[in-house]
Amino acid sequence: MNFAIIENTLVINTTVADPKYAQSQGWIELTGGAGIGWSYIDGQFIAPPKPQPTPEEIQAENKTQASTLLQETDWVELGDVADPANPPYLSNKADFTAYRAALRSIAVNPPTTPAVFPAKPDEVWSQ
């Protein structure tokens, strides 16, 4: 069985041991995915807080998200999608153009704080 070695409510190490030996050492059986760095308070393991992302990590995530959203709407740039001579056609291509411009702005100059992404327009098809 796996056990936690605890000092001052903090799991400082983990080990595999016989339950009787572990009990004699005051070790606690690991549960719920607990591990080194977790706390053990009032009979429960508590996960450590997740570290806050750095501005560079936020910036990279913003760029990735904006690029992904752009790729998902690449199809609206095909020439025949908004051509009334080829029904059905996308009649609100201008909404997608504005949406994609806002996304490009984030992708090209990603902010270092969480970005506010524009809402994707609904497709409006005409015959």
Domains of the chain, residue spans: 2-46, 55-126
Distance between start and end Cα atoms, the chain:
67
* CA dist list (Å): 61 to 52, 55, 70, 119: 13, 10, 14, 18
What predicted TM-score, i.e. pTM, was given to this entire model?
Answer: 0.68
Residue 23 banded pLDDT, cuts 50, 70, 90: very high
pLDDT attached to residue 90: 97
Buried b (16+ CB within 10 A) or exposed e, 80-97: ebbeeeeeebbeebebbe
Length of the chain: 127
Residue range 72-118, pLDDT digits in tens? 999 999 989 999 999 999 999 999 999 999 999 999 999 999 999 99
Which amino acid, one-letter code, is at 78? L
